[in-house]
């Protein structure tokens, strides 16, 4: 029987020419790395080129909203400044701890940004406060800036739940990062229309 819960039938969108950023926290790296790989795999499969995918990191999920905000703003400056200005020069001038891996500035601002983090419930209320702050923060950045921000924050109660949702568990659950990559392409394409 087809499960009721799930992302629905896959749609196909042409990601050619899209510029997408993946910004991820560095906590719980084994799960993070699998999620980032899954998202990147879907971006490439949709035609987004390697040079149009920028990967950034922040210390933890709590830094994702400011990281997304600063990264998008830097890409807008890049777009107005044109080629040749390295993104890291632009970012370093903004006294942020974000360092992009880009070497030359593509002309476009990001069409979509995927924010990836993994929060694992501990013995205190820290998990709840970060999850709430980051969820609202990413939504605010998305609506204020107009750039689609794909919500890639896993809020899991156990390590096993996190491994399962990164496609690393024994249940065969799919890698949720792939859903996020597909969502970034769809929203990026629709934003251009």
Binding residues for ligand LMZ, rule: CB under 6 A, are 25, 27-28, 59-63, 117-120, 126, 130
Consecutive H or E run containing 182: helix 176-192
Query: Is the Cα dihedral 65, 191, 77, 20 positive or negative?
Result: positive
Contact 112, 187 (CB under 8 A): yes
Residue nearest to ligand LMZ (CB): 60
Q: Dihedrals φ, ψ of 94, to 5°?
A: -95, 20
Least separation in angstroms between residue 37's CB and ligand LMZ is 18
Least separation in angstroms between residue 179's CB and ligand LMZ is 19
Residue number, 25 or 105, with CB nearest to ligand LMZ: 25
Residue number, 58 or 91, with CB nearest to ligand LMZ: 58
Residue number, 106 or 152, with CB nearest to ligand LMZ: 152
Enter the tokens of residue 61. Answer: 């999920």
Least separation in angstroms between residue 108's CB and ligand LMZ is 29
Catalytic residue list contains 126: yes
Strand partners, 113: 21, 149
Q: Give the other-Cβ count within 10 Å of 51's Cβ.
A: 11
From the candidates 13, 24, 126, 136, give the one annotated as an active-site residue: 126
Which are the catalytic amino acids?
126
């Amino acid at each position: 029987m087809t499960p009721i819960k799930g992302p629905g039938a896959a749609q196909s969108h042409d990601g050619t020419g899209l510029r997408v950023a993946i910004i991820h926290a560095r906590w719980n790296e084994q799960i993070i790395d699998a999620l980032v790989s899954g998202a990147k795999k879907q971006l490439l499969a949709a035609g987004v080129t390697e040079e149009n995918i920028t990967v950034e990191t922040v210390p933890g999920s709590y830094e994702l909203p400011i990281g997304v905000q600063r990264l998008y703003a830097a890409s807008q400056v890049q777009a107005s400044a044109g080629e040749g200005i390295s993104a890291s020069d632009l970012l370093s001038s903004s006294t942020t701890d974000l360092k992009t891996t880009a070497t030359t500035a593509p002309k476009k601002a990001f069409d979509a940004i995927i924010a990836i983090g993994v929060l694992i419930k501990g013995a205190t209320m820290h998990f709840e406060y970060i999850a709430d702050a980051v969820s609202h923060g990413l939504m605010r950045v998305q609506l204020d800036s107009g750039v689609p921000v794909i919500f890639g924050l896993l809020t899991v109660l156990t390590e096993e739940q996190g491994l399962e949702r990164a496609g690393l568990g024994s249940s065969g659950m799919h890698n949720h990062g792939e859903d996020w990559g597909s969502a970034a392409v769809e929203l990026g394409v629709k934003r251009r229309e």
